[in-house]
């Protein structure tokens, strides 16, 4: 398998490069963001650019295909004599890539699966994005981090339906901080999760922002010692909002020299904690979450990794009730879980080059795909009858291309698309996606250009039925 090199290598986040579960948080005893703040980084003018494109690379012109058709089409009653799979776009075809197979941009019936509506980029320093949510107006909100010579700051970007990016909010607090997750409250306010480092202590941070960009409240999590004696490495990996407007947060918590634990906490809209539940693994070694989602019945499903002493990290899935009771726990997974999707029938878990769908109680495997066409999956978005995965795929002679693909709930591949920055074939990764009210798909990720720092990109797909 070709290895995708996460963009965070550019920021000096060595631990993050070795472990894709790491977003902006530290993965080991050392704080990953401290290395960023100590290293002078190139800064630039804040800018956004837009470009319109289409998936032309997936529609192969006749000169690049053979003449053997893998299937025959045409409708003599309408006069359509086109042959799907012959590499020639004619008749009622909207694409013809020389085959009659699903799984790419051109469907088996020679009709496009999607179109690229617009693409925008944001750049101010070394910029990374990790998660996106879309509000009822179609505005997308993306959470990430921007590193400049002055330090490392958490950022929230807003993206209009036509692709205009606005640097909505950035941190001005002392120390280094970052966001890895964003969610929307029913009234329109924004909730972010991440962490901050100050005086050598790393704490998890939950923050509520009003849409004018004002901080409503901040809740910091400083581990079980409450910051009195032992320095900790704590981080808020993911946040989700349930139908009642309550917040569910997945933390990792670690005392220096000890293993980390998974902590799931529930809060009211004012940031008051309602309950918490902790998983310390069977050996009380390293355990950490990557994603948390809320099931249609209100249960909380989380995924990440669990590790016993001397053993490699393995995947863990858990299901916790709305009142904080463990319903199911599963550790027999192909590997560490990077992303999750949940529907009424079950759970889709995604990791390093694998997909696995499980029953609602997590016990039964519906299917496992160990060759899905990507190397890392970082985001899962449920769609009608299936789901979309965003991530990265390694390319020979390059680092990685951003990957976006759709599958049916039965595991059948529907379509896929890759993005390679035309300015430089370096490290491009799609981190997350979300559906907009108009049915389009908003994808966020990071791209790298030679001699420049990393940029955030927003790419919007129009999905065809």
Output the domain CATH number for residue 426.
2.130.10.10
Task: Answer yes or no: do 320 and 238 share one domain.
Answer: yes
Q: What is the pLDDT of residues 371-415, one digit of tens each?
A: 999 999 999 999 999 999 999 999 877 789 999 999 999 999 999
Res 463 pLDDT > 50: yes
Task: Answer yes or no: do 67 and 136 share one domain.
Answer: no
Residue 21 inside a domain? The answer is yes
Task: Answer yes or no: do 150 and 92 share one domain.
Answer: no
Task: Answer yes or no: do 137 and 153 share one domain.
Answer: yes
Task: Answer yes or no: do 123 and 61 share one domain.
Answer: no
Identify the CA nearest to 117 among candidates 465, 404, 459, 402: 459
Percent composition of the chain: helix, strand, coil (DSSP 3-state, to 5): 5, 50, 45
DSSP track, 343-403? -SSEEEEE-SS-EEEEETTS-SEEEEES--S-SEEEEEEEETTEEEEEEEEE-TTSSEEEE
Res 360 pLDDT > 90: yes
Res 271 pLDDT > 50: yes
Quick one: average pLDDT of 347-369? 97
Q: How confident is the model at residue 202 (pLDDT cuts 50, 70, 90)?
A: confident
Res 264 pLDDT > 70: yes
Q: What's the whole-model pTM score?
A: 0.82
Task: Answer yes or no: do 325 and 358 share one domain.
Answer: yes
For the chain, the C-alpha Rg in angstroms (whole number) is 22
Cα–Cα dist 323/369, whole Å: 33
Task: Answer yes or no: do 107 and 219 share one domain.
Answer: no
Q: Which domain does 75 fall in, by range?
A: 56-111
Task: Answer yes or no: do 162 and 209 share one domain.
Answer: yes
Quick one: average pLDDT of 209-235? 78
Question: SS3 of 140, please?
Answer: strand
Task: Answer yes or no: do 317 and 402 share one domain.
Answer: yes
Q: What is the pLDDT of residues 47-82, one digit of tens each?
A: 444 444 433 333 333 333 333 333 344 444 445 567
Strands 300-306 and 140-148: unpaired
Residue 2 inside a domain? The answer is no
Residue 1 inside a domain? The answer is no
Give the pLDDT confidence score for residue 51 in this predicted structure.
43
Give the pLDDT confidence score for residue 374 in this predicted structure.
96
Domain total of the chain = 2
Phi and psi at 208, nearest 5°, equal -110, 130
* Domain endpoint, select from 67, 90, 111: 111
Cα–Cα dist 251/270, whole Å: 19
Higher pLDDT, 17 or 225: 225
Task: Answer yes or no: do 205 and 155 share one domain.
Answer: yes
Task: Answer yes or no: do 62 and 88 share one domain.
Answer: yes
Task: Answer yes or no: do 339 and 439 share one domain.
Answer: yes
Give the pLDDT confidence score for residue 225 in this predicted structure.
54
Give the pLDDT confidence score for residue 237 in this predicted structure.
97
């Amino acid at each position: 398998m070709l290895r995708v090199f996460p963009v965070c290598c550019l920021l000096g986040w060595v631990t993050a490069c070795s472990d894709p579960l790491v977003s902006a948080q530290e993965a080991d005893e050392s704080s990953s963001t401290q290395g960023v703040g100590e290293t002078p980084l190139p800064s630039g003018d804040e800018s956004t650019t837009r470009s319109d494109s289409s998936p032309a690379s997936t529609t192969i012109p006749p000169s690049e295909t053979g003449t053997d058709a893998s299937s025959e089409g045409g409708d003599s009653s309408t006069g359509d004599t086109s042959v799907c799979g012959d590499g020639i776009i004619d008749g009622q075809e909207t694409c013809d890539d020389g085959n009659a197979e699903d799984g790419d941009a051109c469907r088996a019936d020679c009709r496009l699966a999607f179109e690229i509506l617009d693409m925008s980029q944001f750049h101010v320093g070394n910029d990374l994005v990790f998660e996106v949510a879309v509000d009822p107006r179609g505005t997308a909100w993306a959470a990430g981090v921007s590193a400049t010579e002055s330090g490392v700051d958490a950022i929230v970007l807003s993206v209009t339906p036509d692709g205009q990016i606005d640097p909505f909010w950035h941190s001005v607090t002392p120390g280094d901080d970052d966001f890895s997750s964003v969610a929307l409250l029913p009234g329109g306010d924004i909730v972010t999760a991440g962490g901050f480092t100050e005086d050598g202590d790393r704490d998890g941070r939950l923050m509520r922002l009003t849409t004018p960009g004002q901080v409503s409240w901040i809740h910091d999590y400083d581990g079980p010692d409450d910051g009195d004696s032992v320095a900790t490495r704590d981080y808020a990996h993911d946040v989700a909002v349930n139908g009642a407007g309550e917040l569910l947060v997945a933390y990792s918590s670690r005392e220096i020299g000890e293993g980390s634990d998974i902590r799931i906490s529930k809060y009211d809209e004012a940031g008051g904690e309602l309950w918490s539940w902790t998983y310390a693994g069977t050996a009380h070694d390293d355990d950490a979450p990557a994603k948390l989602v809320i099931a249609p019945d209100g249960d909380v499903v989380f995924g990440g990794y669990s590790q016993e002493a001397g053993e490699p990290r393995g995947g863990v899935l858990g299901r916790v009730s709305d009142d904080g009771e463990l319903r199911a726990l599963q550790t027999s997974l192909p590997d560490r879980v990077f992303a999750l999707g949940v529907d009424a029938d079950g759970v889709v878990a995604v990791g390093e080059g694998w997909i696995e769908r499980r029953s609602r109680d997590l016990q039964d495997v519906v299917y496992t795909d160990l060759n899905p066409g990507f190397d890392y999956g970082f985001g899962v978005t449920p769609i009608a009858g299936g789901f979309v995965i965003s991530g990265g795929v390694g390319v020979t002679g390059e680092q990685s291309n951003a990957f976006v693909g759709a599958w049916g709930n039965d595991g059948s591949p529907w379509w896929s698309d890759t993005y390679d920055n035309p300015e430089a074939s370096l490290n491009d990764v799609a981190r997350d996606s979300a559906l907009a009210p108009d049915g389009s798909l908003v994808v966020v990720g990071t791209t790298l250009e030679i001699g420049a720092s990393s940029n955030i990109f927003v790419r919007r797909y129009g999905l065809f039925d």
